Amino acid sequence: MGKYVHRLSRCKVRWIKNLLIRGFAWFYCVNKSEAAAEVPKGYASFNAFFTRELKAGVRPIDSRPDSLLSPADGVIAQSGYASAGKLLQAKGLEYSAADLLGDPGLATKLANSAFATIYLAPHNYHRVHMPMGGVLERTTFIPGLLYSVNARTTAAVENLYALNERLVCQFRNNDGPFALVLVGAMNVASISTAWAGEITPPPDRSVMRTDFSANESLRFERGDYMGHFNLGSTVVFIAPGEDIEWLQAADGGERVQAGQRIGSHTNQAQL
């Protein structure tokens, strides 16, 4: 199914891509006025529209030096603090940070982490930005399933985010390591990053794949674009929790936009 969605989403036949874009924008009530290009004329394919940039200034970055930013537009599904290496998926359901990250060593370093899970609905802007500054250390594709990640599924499927395909992007700042995990879902054809372009699953989906291991420092500042979903999905942010305070209740439900303040970092010098 995924390969057919991939082909259709990149079809450049004018009437097909225009029909797809117009139908999608109408059905999901997409705010076309924010798009950087004219809709649908300014986009060569449906995927180009789905992964669209926005006009300058429509996603301002919170300027307070202690701000921890939302990495994406969407809904905060959950936020809070890890307990014994477990993160909250939905009421009554936890999952392992080690399973999510695919790296027990990194999970140990983030055992007392703060986390926030942002669900991106179809109508949302699908580019992902840095919640705080850091140096990229490693990017790892982890094979898995492609369950839907909507509220109904996250409340019913145990260990959902650790079962689905995902791209673990590991960064470091003076506070230690932190990660942005881009979780694939139904019909997500691939994930793209600012440093490696489009990352497609390997032919053998049982094999983990490291797409980037830093030989030189790639520094990203707070609010910088770091990647996007080519259809889908969910972003999980995990960082050392000692200095992070969230602004909303742990059960989530708040709509947020990329660059919006969702928490504060008491150790401002580390950003």
User: What are the structural domain ranges in the chain?
Assistant: 1-58, 61-270
Using a 10 angstrom Cβ sphere, with 0-12 exposed, 13-18 middle and 19 or more buried, the burial of residue 152 is exposed
| Whole-angstrom distance, CA of residue 83 vs CA of residue 111 | 8
pLDDT of residue 259: 96
Please list the active-site residues. Answer: 73, 129, 233
Overall residue count recorded for the chain in this entry: 271
67 DSSP β-pair partners: 264
Strands of the sheet with 113-119, listed across from one edge = 209-220, 134-142, 166-173, 176-183, 234-240, 113-119, 74-81, 255-256
- This prediction has a pTM of 0.92
| Whole-angstrom distance, CA of residue 101 vs CA of residue 154 | 18
pLDDT one digit per residue (tens) for the chain, 271 residues:
556 777 888 899 999 999 999 999 999 999 999 999 999 999 999 999 999 999 999 999 999 999 999 999 999 999 999 888 888 888 778 889 999 999 989 999 888 899 999 999 989 999 999 999 999 999 999 888 777 777 788 887 888 888 888 999 999 998 899 999 999 877 665 789 999 888 877 667 677 787 777 666 799 999 999 999 887 789 999 998 888 999 865 556 889 999 999 999 876 554 4
Angle between helix axes 14-27 and 2-9 (nearest 10 degrees) is: 110
3-state secondary structure of 261: strand
